[in-house]
């Protein structure tokens, strides 16, 4: 087999995910490899250090790279994540619901959603089909201190320091054969204005490769600046365009526990992430600059934290919601922010880099003859997944019942709901979602809309939601967590409905969990050696 050369431009999480994964996935024999990988990273560009929440697909990534879980968690200050808790999204009343990773499926037919809709709804929907929301509220880990003894394991992901994650991947990838060059790219040579032929650096090196991966963030130095691939803007559906971020160190601000879930709390003009790590919490107020100034957004973020935060620095991260018209053009592939971005309400930040890398390994061109066919399929997959995420995030906003600010009034307007999602919601007024809804993804109401999502220059087809990331169960979680179509169900089933029954398996699991699963921070302390901090005070609005 002919040796292929890959050049990755840009480090950070995206660059090192690509380097580490491709090195292992494409080179079974390690250093005696068929694919030679070089990563060029600027020593002058500052890196954004924020807490990062992930989804369970990250565990596949780590397994392929051959990473020990405990070592990874120690190196990146990682903690467990079992759910996302949404607070104040329906109304501004401190109410909440969970989107957990584990769910019980009744056999042989699961009518959990329909049973809940016909009931008195005295228990939140997800607590009737998953034990994980209560396990999260109890602050328990997803693992025991010894061998697991509770039947089916709990599904989980991680919170981590993204910058330390990039450094960790670098430190294991270089000894495995990835060449690391610290230099600035000064020039890019093109062949027939369609393909990159070489990259030049300020250290005098000329890097020639068969495939070039653009991990340069929003600058998109290769895919946009040189190959001139355009950007599809989707800010009409998601209005937030910046985030004020801050780290809350445990030395002075330990709240007495480490939440085993991510918190997304709706504020006046957006929402705030709250991500716990082993040494600090990372918070960030994702908001719309059209509705609130940076100064007022920072005041609101600090009020959310409460206590003495004057000594804590904040920074503003600016972003744009959208996707590249093509993620793969010629012999250049955009991965990470250079390929697209959607606000991380469902923790899809690292996932998009993960997806782009895994899909590239599956479509890797071992000859130049494969390049065009592989690029076409790759672009289609990334396009479909982007719109799947767009629909799902858009849904969180448009289902709110808040009217306390102009921002929350605006996101509910029909023109702020993308047509694909609108068609789904219209259909789901008739019945709860099912697997069948993702077989074709064309609903009656779509005949009323003209779809103009993708650039006609590249792919004429409407994107398809394949439920590769979120199936009908995840849609049910958000729909009924936010009381979708509740007025119509009140008319249909009346106000005096039957009492709700929780699956006996869930009750048994919760009883056993209380006795056998340790608190999250105790597990982190005993297994990973997390430092024990004295409790300072709990942030404003803190609910364990």
Is 271 a member of any domain?
no
Question: Do residues 226 and 331 share a domain?
Answer: yes
Starting from the edge strand earliest in sequence, which strands make up the sheet with 270-276, in order? 96-100, 83-87, 262-267, 270-276, 280-287, 242-249, 314-318
Of 81, 92, 329, 422, which one is the catalytic site residue? 81
User: Which backbone phi and psi does 473 adopt, to 5 degrees?
Assistant: -70, -40
* Boundary residue ending a domain (334, 356, 385): 385
Is 238 a member of any domain?
no
Question: Do residues 128 and 8 share a domain?
Answer: no
Question: Do residues 492 and 445 share a domain?
Answer: yes
Question: Do residues 414 and 375 share a domain?
Answer: no
Confidence of residue 542 (pLDDT cuts 50, 70, 90): low
Task: Report the distance separating Cα 55 and Cα 365, nearest Å.
Answer: 28
Is 314 a member of any domain?
no
Find the helix or strand (DSSP H, E) in which 214 lies. Answer: strand 211-214
Structural domain including 176 reads 4-51+160-231+324-385
Distance from the Cα of residue 158 to its chain's centroid = 11
Domain count, the chain: 2
Question: Do residues 129 and 170 share a domain?
Answer: no
Is 57 a member of any domain?
no
Question: Do residues 340 and 197 share a domain?
Answer: yes
Is 186 a member of any domain?
yes
Question: Do residues 170 and 107 share a domain?
Answer: no
Task: Report the distance separating Cα 10 and Cα 338, nearest Å.
Answer: 10
Residues of the chain above pLDDT 90, percent: 81
Is 426 a member of any domain?
yes
Distances (CA, A) of 19 to 6, 10, 29, 40, 219: 9, 11, 16, 11, 20
Task: Report the distance separating Cα 257 and Cα 518, nearest Å.
Answer: 12
Question: Do residues 381 and 471 share a domain?
Answer: no
Question: Do residues 124 and 169 share a domain?
Answer: no
Q: What is the number of other CB atoms lying within 10 angstroms of the CB of residue 77?
A: 21
pLDDT of residue 456: 47
Question: Is pLDDT at 315 greater than 70 in this prediction?
Answer: yes
* Boundary residue ending a domain (470, 485, 504): 504
Is 536 a member of any domain?
no
Indicate which CATH number applies to the domain containing 32. Answer: 3.50.50.60
Is 218 a member of any domain?
yes
Confidence of residue 31 (pLDDT cuts 50, 70, 90): very low
Q: Strand locations in 303-436, DSSP E?
A: 314-318, 322-324, 328-329, 332-334, 340-341
Question: Do residues 125 and 37 share a domain?
Answer: no
Task: Report the predicted TM-score, pTM, of the whole model to 2 decimal places.
Answer: 0.94
For the ranges 190-204, 209-223, 442-456, 497-511, the lowest mean pLDDT is seen at 442-456
* Boundary residue ending a domain (504, 524, 539): 504
SS3 at position 117: helix
Q: What is the number of other CB atoms lying within 10 angstroms of the CB of residue 467?
A: 18
Question: Do residues 443 and 460 share a domain?
Answer: yes
Q: What is the pLDDT of residues 78-101, one digit of tens each?
A: 999 999 999 999 999 999 999 999
Q: What is the pLDDT of residues 349-408, one digit of tens each?
A: 999 999 999 999 999 998 877 899 999 999 999 999 999 999 999 999 999 999 999 999
* Residue of 290, 282, 182, 202 whose CA lies nearest to 238: 290
SS3 at position 526: helix
401 is annotated as an active-site residue: no
User: Which backbone phi and psi does 167 adopt, to 5 degrees?
Assistant: -65, -40
Question: Do residues 395 and 434 share a domain?
Answer: yes
Question: Is pLDDT at 534 greater than 50 in this prediction?
Answer: yes
């Amino acid at each position: 087999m002919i040796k292929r050369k890959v050049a990755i431009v840009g480090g950070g999480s995206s660059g090192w995910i690509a380097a580490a994964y491709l090195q292992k996935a494409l080179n079974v024999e390690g250093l005696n490899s068929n694919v030679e990988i070089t990563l060029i990273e600027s020593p002058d560009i500052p890196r954004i250090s924020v807490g990062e929440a992930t989804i369970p697909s990250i565990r596949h990534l780590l397994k392929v790279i051959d990473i020990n879980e405990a070592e990874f968690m120690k190196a990146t200050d990682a903690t467990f994540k079992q759910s996302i808790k949404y607070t104040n999204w329906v109304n501004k009343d401190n109410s909440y619901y969970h989107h957990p990773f584990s769910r019980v499926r009744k056999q042989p037919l699961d009518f959990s959603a329909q049973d809940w809709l016909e009931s008195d709804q005295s228990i939140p929907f997800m607590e009737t089909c998953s034990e994980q929301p209560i396990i999260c509220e109890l602050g328990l880990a997803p693992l025991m201190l010894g061998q697991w003894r509770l039947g089916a394991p709990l599904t989980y992901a991680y919170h981590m320091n993204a910058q330390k994650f990039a450094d960790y991947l670098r430190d294991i990838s270089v000894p495995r054969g990835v060449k690391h060059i610290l230099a600035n790219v000064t020039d890019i040579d093109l062949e027939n204005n369609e393909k990159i032929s070489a990259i030049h650096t300020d250290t005098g090196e000329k890097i020639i490769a068969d495939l070039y991966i653009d991990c340069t963030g929003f600058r998109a130095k290769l895919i946009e600046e040189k190959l001139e691939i355009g950007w599809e803007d989707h800010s009409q559906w998601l209005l937030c365009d910046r985030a004020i971020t801050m780290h809350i160190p445990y030395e002075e601000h330990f709240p007495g526990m480490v939440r085993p879930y991510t918190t997304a709390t709706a504020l006046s003009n957006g929402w705030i992430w709250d991500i716990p790590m082993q040494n600090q919490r990372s918070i960030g107020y994702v908001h719309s600059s059209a509705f609130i100034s940076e100064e007022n957004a920072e005041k609101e973020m600090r009020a959310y934290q409460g206590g003495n935060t004057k000594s804590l620095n904040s920074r503003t991260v600016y972003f744009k919601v959208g996707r590249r018209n093509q993620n793969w053009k010629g012999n250049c592939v955009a991965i990470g922010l250079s390929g697209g971005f959607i606000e991380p309400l469902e923790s899809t930040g690292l996932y998009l880099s993960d997806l782009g890398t895994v899909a590239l390994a599956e479509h890797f061109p071992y000859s130049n003859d494969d390049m065009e066919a592989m690029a076409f399929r790759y672009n289609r997959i990334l396009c479909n997944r982007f719109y799947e995420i767009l629909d799902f995030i858009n849904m969180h906003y448009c289902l709110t019942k808040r009217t306390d600010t102009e921002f929350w009034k605006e996101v509910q307007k029909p023109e702020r709901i993308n047509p694909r999602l609108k068609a789904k919601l219209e259909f789901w007024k008739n019945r709860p979602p099912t697997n069948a809804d993702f077989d074709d993804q064309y609903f009656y109401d779509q005949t009323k809309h003209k779809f103009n999502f993708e650039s006609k220059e590249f792919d004429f087809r409407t994107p398809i939601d394949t439920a590769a990331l979120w199936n009908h169960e995840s849609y049910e979680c958000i729909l009924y967590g936010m009381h979708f179509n509740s007025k119509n169900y009140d008319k249909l089933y009346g106000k005096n409905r039957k009492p709700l029954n929780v699956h006996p398996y869930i009750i048994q699991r919760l009883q056993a969990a209380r006795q056998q699963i340790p608190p999250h921070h105790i597990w982190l302390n005993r297994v990973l050696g997390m430092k024990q901090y004295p409790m300072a005070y709990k942030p404003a609005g803190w609910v364990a």
